[in-house]
């Protein structure tokens, strides 16, 4: 691989290495060149596997697109502990990280390489003695964690010792304590006080000590240190107990993140939390349709113009004026596709205006703003540059949010790029006519051809919804989904035996216990082009649900190989013991979708139809599962050869039997040592029976 293609080999060599006899530039000299920053999020920081959260490994086209979009700094969130064994980081992983660093620097940008969350080995343990990780009481030795921090950074720094000032290290990500959010005095948590800041300072100094000890350019390389939880209002603690750098003053930067919650992240309605009632802010300052002040971030609200000015000027006086530039390591606001039509347009324009103002204020106050980008393009995404082309189409590097990007480019004196993203989004999410019913239309598109995938529609309930007054769930839906199967012939073990099945699921209680049941459980139940009601009683669940007084989420999972199609859902109701029903969700706002599923809000007239290709019924047979054995009873229309098969989640046959089925009732048994979810299929001519089973 050529590392220096944009500059030529000779220039490239001077970019990556400099003579150790000279100190690298100080932070105040580097800061003016760092400009606008961008995160390669949800990739290199994924514990153990950088592609596990849906993004491909960063390639040359993607990194060049970042440069072409106007960014001059790239933050690379990175995992290390999950790539280490007995304290040694895997050499192959170090080479993989180097590949990304080289792509960034080879395009003339600054790279900020950090130690990200990585299962919380450091960031959830900023205490010494006894602390809390969510609901778990744990103990932590700050000295042991600091030693681990020093060990990892010594290895990382050694790998990159000869790189010039374009490579910057960052000690951590959002170092906190992960205390339970149960009404504590500090933003719902226990206070992050000077005692805990002393521990965090110890962790930062362990990083600094390790980096400096490796010599070469690392002796004066810029290292970024984070405020507690990277919250701006905790930055005074960092300023008052700033870590000591063996290189002396001038070779560090500070880091905070900026997600004003109500505007940036809140997506569950105007829900009361332990710390008070908080509206979602869809709009910002004067970017508001009509008179909707309750959902507008303005005045003194966190994220408004006045609060941005106050917070950022505080950072300037606290750090930049003392020779310490500040990196806003992450910033952003989600796109709320649950809004429709002109309200959605106003929301997207408001986001763009907020990004532009925030970037301009950062530049003014000695801050480097780095936008968060995850690659996903569904509801709640931050994405500006496309990379998940198998799911969303187009090409790697396509701009998905011209308005937000151009607002930030303007703040940095760059010309606007030609393009329009908002019109396309609004056209996909039009206003629903007054008086029309609403529903959600879910489209399923598989991304792979050789394995089972899941498409998920999920309705989240803040603070837990009480469903204990119901005995089941009723769903009204219509549609068509089909599966082509992972391959083309029976000789390879799967071929014509693609499958689909649908489950209703719910998650309950503080431990998010999982319960599920087949939706298409009766012989006459198939999806068609007209709305039908499907009733799933709690007695039908594979395990009887508990914790119904606090349900965190319910939803539908569509499983299968090469699944494609569209389902429209009118409503989800709770069924009472007397048979009456009550609406749980009629989709005034779009629920979240994951996996192969994507969705939008549509008008429901009750008479419209779509081209139907019914899903194969999940059960036209009676199935009994015992340890090591599955028995199926079914009715055949005629006497003819038949085949029974068990398929695992990859579509591979794990057990099969050829037999002759007689006209009328038949019974067939299959044995297997396999454990877990599988599909039972019985095929006789054009007749096919399918049911999802859990093998014991």
For the segment 344-371, what is each residue's pLDDT rounded down to a tens digit? 999 999 999 999 999 999 999 999 999 9
**Range with the lowest mean pLDDT among 66-70, 650-654, 672-676?**
650-654
More confident residue, 337 or 85: 85
**What would the mean pLDDT of 378-404 be, rounded to a whole number?**
93
- The predicted structure's pLDDT at residue 153: 98
More confident residue, 290 or 140: 140
- The predicted structure's pLDDT at residue 277: 59
Edge to edge, what strands does the sheet with 592-595 contain? 513-518, 500-508, 551-561, 452-465, 592-595
Q: How far apart are CA 78 and CA 672, in angstroms?
A: 41
**What would the mean pLDDT of 381-387 be, rounded to a whole number?**
96
Q: Answer whether residue 485 shows pLDDT above 60.
A: no
Which contiguous run of DSSP H or E holds residue 100?
Answer: helix 91-106
**Range with the lowest mean pLDDT among 303-312, 413-422, 476-485, 538-547?**
476-485
Q: What phi and psi values does residue 467 have, to the nearest 5 degrees?
A: -110, 15
- The predicted structure's pLDDT at residue 506: 94
- The predicted structure's pLDDT at residue 271: 55
More confident residue, 492 or 662: 662
What is each CA distance from 275 to 165, 189, 295, 630, in whole angstroms?
A: 44, 10, 18, 52
CB under 8 Å to 659, separation ≥6 — which residues?
641, 642, 643, 644, 668
Q: How far apart are CA 511 and CA 68, in angstroms?
A: 45
More confident residue, 594 or 171: 171
**What would the mean pLDDT of 570-575 be, rounded to a whole number?**
93
CB under 8 Å to 255, separation ≥6 — which residues?
170, 224, 225, 226, 227, 230, 326, 327, 328, 329
- The predicted structure's pLDDT at residue 652: 64
More confident residue, 383 or 596: 383
DSSP code of 122? T
- The predicted structure's pLDDT at residue 180: 61
Give residue 225's pLDDT band: very low, low, confident or very high (50, 70, 90). very high
Helix axis angle, 9-16 relative to 91-106, nearest 10°? 120
What is the separation of C-alpha 574 from the centre of its chain, rounded to a whole number of angstroms?
30
Most confident of 301-310, 449-458, 680-689: 301-310
Q: How far apart are CA 89 and CA 157, in angstroms?
A: 12
Q: Answer whether residue 533 shows pLDDT above 50.
A: yes
The residue length of the chain stands at 696
**Range with the lowest mean pLDDT among 254-268, 395-409, 476-490?**
476-490
More confident residue, 62 or 187: 62
Placement of tokens 């900023």 in the chain: 126
- The predicted structure's pLDDT at residue 6: 31
CB under 8 Å to 327, separation ≥6 — which residues?
37, 75, 112, 170, 224, 253, 254, 255, 256, 367, 368, 370
Q: How far apart are CA 308 and CA 312, in angstroms?
A: 6
The answer to whether 349 and 95 are in contact (CB under 8 A) is no
**What would the mean pLDDT of 243-255 be, rounded to a whole number?**
98
Give residue 179's pLDDT band: very low, low, confident or very high (50, 70, 90). low
- Other C-beta atoms closer than 10 Å to the C-beta of 129 total 10
**Range with the lowest mean pLDDT among 16-25, 669-678, 680-689?**
16-25
The answer to whether 173 and 160 are in contact (CB under 8 A) is no
- The predicted structure's pLDDT at residue 487: 36
Q: Answer whether residue 10 shows pLDDT above 70.
A: no
Q: How far apart are CA 581 and CA 590, in angstroms?
A: 22
Give residue 385's pLDDT band: very low, low, confident or very high (50, 70, 90). very high
Question: Which CATH entry fits the domain spanning 9-428: 3.20.20.80, 3.40.50.2000, 3.30.420.40, 3.90.1150.10?
Answer: 3.20.20.80
- Please report, to the nearest 10 degrees, the dihedral formed by the alpha carbons of residues 603, 607, 609, 612 taken in order: 120
More confident residue, 267 or 374: 374
- The predicted structure's pLDDT at residue 609: 29
The answer to whether 557 and 565 are in contact (CB under 8 A) is no
- The predicted structure's pLDDT at residue 143: 96
Q: Answer whether residue 9 shows pLDDT above 70.
A: no
Give residue 452's pLDDT band: very low, low, confident or very high (50, 70, 90). confident
**What would the mean pLDDT of 552-581 be, rounded to a whole number?**
89
Beta bridge partners of 678: 693
Q: How far apart are CA 403 and CA 421, in angstroms?
A: 7
**Whole-structure pTM value:** 0.74
Strands 136-140, 129-133: parallel, antiparallel or unpaired by DSSP?
Answer: antiparallel
- The predicted structure's pLDDT at residue 674: 76
Burial profile 644-661: b = 16 or more Cβ within 10 angstroms, e = fewer: bbbbbeebbbbbeeeeeb
Of all residues in the chain, the percent with pLDDT exceeding 90 is: 54
Q: How far apart are CA 326 and CA 546, in angstroms?
A: 49
In a 3-state reduction of DSSP, which class is residue 509?
coil
- The predicted structure's pLDDT at residue 486: 41
- The predicted structure's pLDDT at residue 499: 66
Residue 388 structure tokens: 């998940």
**What would the mean pLDDT of 426-453 be, rounded to a whole number?**
76
The answer to whether 40 and 370 are in contact (CB under 8 A) is no
Interval 289-321: pLDDT, tens: 877 899 999 999 999 999 999 999 999 999 999
Give residue 139's pLDDT band: very low, low, confident or very high (50, 70, 90). confident
Strands 88-89, 136-140: parallel, antiparallel or unpaired by DSSP?
Answer: unpaired
| Averaged pLDDT score across all residues of the chain | 85
CB under 8 Å to 167, separation ≥6 — which residues?
101, 105, 110, 111, 113, 160, 221
Half-sphere exposure of 165 (CA within 13 A, CB side): 17
- The predicted structure's pLDDT at residue 527: 80
The answer to whether 238 and 228 are in contact (CB under 8 A) is yes
Question: For the chain, what are the domain ranges?
Answer: 9-428, 437-604, 621-695
Closest CA to 126 of 204, 46, 240, 48: 204
**What would the mean pLDDT of 256-265 be, rounded to a whole number?**
96
Placement of tokens 């932070």 in the chain: 27
3-state helix, strand, coil in the chain (%, to 5): 25, 30, 45
Instruction: Say which CATH architecture domain 437-604 belongs to.
Output: Sandwich (2.60)
Helix axis angle, 142-159 relative to 91-106, nearest 10°? 60
- The predicted structure's pLDDT at residue 641: 85
What is the separation of C-alpha 241 from the centre of its chain, rounded to a whole number of angstroms?
34
**Range with the lowest mean pLDDT among 80-89, 133-142, 228-237?**
133-142
Task: Reply yes or no on domain 621-695 having CATH 3.20.20.80.
Answer: no
Give residue 608's pLDDT band: very low, low, confident or very high (50, 70, 90). very low
- The predicted structure's pLDDT at residue 2: 28
């Amino acid at each position: 691989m050529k590392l220096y293609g944009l500059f030529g080999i000779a220039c490239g060599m001077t970019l990556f290495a400099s003579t150790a006899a000279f100190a690298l530039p100080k932070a105040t000299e580097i800061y003016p060149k760092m400009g606008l920053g961008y995160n390669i999020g949800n990739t290199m920081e994924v514990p153990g596997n950088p592609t596990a959260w849906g993004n491909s490994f960063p390639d040359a086209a993607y990194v060049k697109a970042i440069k072409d979009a106007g960014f001059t700094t790239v933050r690379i969130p990175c995992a290390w502990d999950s790539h280490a064994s007995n304290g040694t980081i895997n050499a192959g992983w170090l080479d993989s990280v180097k590949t990304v660093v080289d792509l960034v620097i080879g395009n003339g940008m600054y790279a900020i390489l950090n130690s990200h969350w990585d299962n919380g080995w450091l960031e959830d343990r900023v205490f010494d003695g006894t602390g809390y990780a969510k609901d778990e009481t744990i103990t932590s030795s700050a000295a042991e964690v600091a030693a681990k921090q020093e060990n990892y950074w010594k290895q990382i720094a050694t790998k990159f010792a000869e790189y010039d000032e374009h490579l910057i290290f960052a000690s951590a990500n959002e170092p906190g304590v992960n205390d339970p959010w149960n009404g504590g005095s500090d933003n719902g948590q226990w206070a992050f006080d000077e005692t805990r800041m002393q521990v965090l300072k110890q962790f930062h100094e362990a990083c600094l000590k390790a980096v400096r000890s490796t010599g070469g350019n690392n002796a004066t390389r810029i290292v970024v240190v984070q405020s507690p939880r990277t919250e701006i209002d905790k930055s005074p603690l960092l300023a008052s107990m700033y870590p000591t750098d063996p290189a002396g003053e001038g070779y560090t930067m500070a880091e905070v993140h900026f997600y004003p919650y109500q505007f940036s992240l809140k997506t569950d309605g105007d829900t009361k939390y332990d710390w008070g009632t908080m509206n979602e802010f869809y709009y910002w300052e004067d970017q508001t349709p009509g008179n909707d002040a309750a959902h507008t971030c303005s005045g003194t609200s966190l994220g408004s113009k006045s609060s941005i000015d106050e917070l950022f000027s505080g950072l300037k006086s606290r750090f930049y004026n003392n020779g310490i530039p500040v990196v806003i390591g992450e910033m952003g606001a989600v796109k709320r596709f649950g809004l429709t039509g002109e309200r959605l347009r106003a929301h997207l324009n408001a986001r763009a205006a907020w990004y532009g103002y925030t970037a301009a204020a950062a530049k003014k106050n000695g801050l480097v703003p780095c936008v968060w980008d995850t690659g996903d393009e569904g509801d709640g995404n931050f994405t500006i540059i496309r990379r998940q082309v198998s799911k969303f189409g187009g090409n790697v590097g396509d701009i998905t949010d011209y308005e937000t990007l151009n607002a930030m480019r303007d703040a940095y004196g760059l010309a606007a790029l030609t393009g329009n993203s908002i019109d396309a989004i609004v056209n996909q999410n039009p206003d629903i006519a007054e008086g029309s019913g609403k529903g959600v239309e879910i489209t399923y598109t598989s991304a792979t051809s050789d394995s089972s995938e899941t498409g998920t529609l999920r309705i989240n309930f803040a603070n837990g919804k009480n469903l204990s007054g119901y005995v089941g769930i009723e769903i009204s839906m219509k549609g068509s989904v089909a599966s082509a199967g992972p391959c083309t012939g029976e000789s390879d073990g799967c071929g014509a035996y693609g499958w689909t099945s649908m489950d209703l699921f719910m998650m309950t209680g503080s431990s998010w216990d999982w319960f599920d049941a087949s939706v298409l459980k009766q012989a006459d139940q198939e999806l068609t082009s007209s709305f039908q009601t499907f009733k799933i009683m709690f007695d039908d669940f594979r395990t009887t649900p508990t914790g119904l007084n606090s349900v965190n989420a319910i939803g539908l999972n569509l499983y299968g190989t090469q699944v494609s199609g569209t389902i429209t859902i009118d409503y989800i109701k709770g069924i009472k013991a007397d048979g009456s029903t009550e609406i749980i969700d009629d989709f005034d706002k779009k629920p979240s979708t994951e996996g192969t599923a994507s969705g939008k809000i549509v008008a429901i007239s009750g008479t419209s139809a779509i081209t139907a290709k019914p899903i194969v019924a999940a059960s036209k047979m009676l199935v009994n599962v015992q340890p090591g054995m599955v028995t199926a009873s079914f009715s055949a229309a005629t006497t003819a050869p038949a085949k029974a098969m068990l398929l695992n989640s990859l579509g591979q046959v794990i057990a099969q039997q050829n037999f002759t089925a007689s006209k009328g009732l038949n019974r067939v048994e299959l044995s297997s040592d396999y454990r877990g979810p599988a599909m039972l299929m019985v095929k006789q001519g054009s007749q096919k029976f399918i049911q999802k089973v859990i093998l014991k």
